Structure 1
Amino acid sequence: MTASARTFEELVDEAESVSVDGWDFSWLDGRATEQRPSWGYQRLMAERLAAASAALDIQTGGGEVLAGARKLPPVMAATESWPPNLAKASRLLRPRGVVVVADRDEPPLPFADGAFDLVTSRHPVRAHWSEIARVLEPGGTYLSQQVGPRSVAKVTEFFLGPQDRRALDARHPDHARAEAEAAGLEVVDLRYEELRTEFYDVGAMIYFLRKVIWIVPGFTVDAHRERLRALHDQIHADGPFLATTTRFLIEARKP
């Protein structure tokens, strides 16, 4: 039975019970779509990793993105804070010689000064630029794809109402450039794109909000059931729920 033919309660029960461990979104195949940035972060990351001698992947999630690289450097470490993701990343990456370190995503990073010639991070909650600069060796590079300003703000405001514009703009790439330069890094590449995102059923939205917890802080089905019911009815009447995702790519080098 297709999702569109199922009842609100059936969709809710399914999405509320499925595991959201790791950073694999394949459960959403056919139920939600997100346009991908043109630069292809995983390909760029893999190219840099193949040429590195010692690398660190910060906030690796379940390790899925890092595991997609065909060749890893002789020294490879990754950090993660959330226990379910930490366990998943360890199972996935340890056979490839990656040291996965539990880290609370707050300074300092548990590594020595100048330990790496490459640091990467896909969608960090926050980039601690002074720590990134510290663990990079001179000439080393930081490569990251990050969530941009007002990303899926339409989702946030559907559930929580109008938001502070300044808070929604906090992730602007210009701010990242300024913070990187203040930490002593030279920004050598900065690209920004706005991308189309669609949700085809309320279950897809529930799964997304359970997994990407900062979009609607404190989200639970019980607390937001009324809005979820409204969303279900809206999708049935008008078609997919549309939102705009924003992403930026930043590459910075330590002089």
Structure 2
Amino acid sequence: MKEPRPQHSRTFEDLVAEGAAVPTEGWDFSWFEGRATEARPSWVYASSLAERLSHTTAALDIQTGGGEVLDFALRRAAPKTPVLTVASEGWPPNVAKATALLRPHGVAVVASPEDAPLPFADGAFDLVSSRHPVSPHWAEIARLLQPGGTYFAQHVGPRSVFELVEYFLGPLLQEQSAARHPDRERADAEAAGLEIVDVRAERLRMEFYDIAAVVHFLRKVVWMVPGFTVEAYRPRLRALHEQIRTDGPFVAHSTRHLFEARKPDA
């Protein structure tokens, strides 16, 4: 982990302009090094996925983003990679990035909206994976898995980074706070006919060292503050900039849970 970069000599306008200019495609967060930190879950998802891929025949990665996590896992699993690996993604810029990154692995990337059925046969895969899906479609996951197949994923949990969200939006309703709860997802997965193998949850510390990191984060993770733009939130951004300069990094907490489920044998 890199030490925070000193930004106190830079103006609010310079930092905001930088955060607004950084490309947001894919799930590569290397730009944040030295500007923001986030503790990682103990289960080390990408490496755990690699281990499962090494014992898999046909794999599907849902909402793959820019393909970075699947690329890492396939490289780690090599040479014992699945005979067939497919990925899906709904955002066109990410589709292009994932296609370029995953093509050397022989992975086909299918452009598909997040809420649409996927164009694959019933029982086509013995492993379906996803890192931070917007919303798991349990009936579709169950349909795509062959009997005995596994769904293995890392989900965003309830109230993730809500310190930052509520700084901009104010206190949220209790129902909004309860969204993405692992108990609710467990019940939905079981209702779709899946057996729960493992669910583990962790709350992880995050720190934002300058306002550019805040701006880029909210542009990249668009569901945090829907409709976020610098102009719409300039007064709050300026106040947060001064707070960070005076009090040090803005602290928030992400929530993550590991989710493993199995489709019963026929």
Same-fold call, TM > 0.5?
A: yes
Match of 2:8 in 1: 4
String of CA shifts for 1:48-106, please: whole Å, max 9, x gaps.
11110000000000000000022331100000011111000000001110010000011
- Where does 1:1-255 land on structure 2 (aligned, <5 Å)? 2-69=6-73, 70=75, 71=78, 72-255=81-264
CA contact (8 A) 1:64 1:89 kept: yes
Q: In structure 2, how many angstroms separate the alpha carbons of the residues matched to 1:107 and 1:88? A: 21
Q: In structure 2, how many angstroms separate the alpha carbons of the residues matched to 1:56 and 1:140? A: 11
Q: In structure 2, how many angstroms separate the alpha carbons of the residues matched to 1:175 and 1:40? A: 23
Q: In structure 2, how many angstroms separate the alpha carbons of the residues matched to 1:11 and 1:149? A: 30
CA contact (8 A) 1:107 1:128 kept: no
Over the residues paired in the alignment, what is the CA RMSD in angstroms?
A: 0.9
What SS is found at the alignment partner of 2:141?
helix
Q: In structure 1, how many angstroms separate the alpha carbons of the residues matched to 2:8 and 2:36? A: 12
What SS is found at the alignment partner of 2:196?
strand
Q: In structure 1, how many angstroms separate the alpha carbons of the residues matched to 2:8 and 2:31? A: 16
Alignment: residue pair count = 255
String of CA shifts for 1:131-166, please: whole Å, max 9, x gaps.
000000000000010000000111111001111121
CA contact (8 A) 1:107 1:131 kept: no
String of CA shifts for 1:24-47, please: whole Å, max 9, x gaps.
000000000000000100011001
- Segment drifting more, 67-76 vs 193-202: 67-76
Q: Which runs of 4+ in 1 moved over 4 A?
A: none
The one-letter code sitting in structure 1 at the alignment partner of 2:28 is D
Q: In structure 2, how many angstroms separate the alpha carbons of the residues matched to 1:4 and 1:163? A: 32
CA contact (8 A) 1:193 1:247 kept: yes
TM-score (normalizing by structure 2): 0.94
CA contact (8 A) 1:112 1:135 kept: yes
Q: In structure 1, how many angstroms separate the alpha carbons of the residues matched to 2:24 and 2:182? A: 29
Q: In structure 2, how many angstroms separate the alpha carbons of the residues matched to 1:60 and 1:143? A: 13
CA contact (8 A) 1:187 1:251 kept: yes
Q: In structure 2, how many angstroms separate the alpha carbons of the residues matched to 1:210 and 1:107? A: 24
The one-letter code sitting in structure 1 at the alignment partner of 2:151 is Y
* CA drift at 1:244: 1.0
Task: Work out the percentage of aligned pairs sharing the same amino acid.
Answer: 64
TM-score (normalizing by structure 1): 0.98
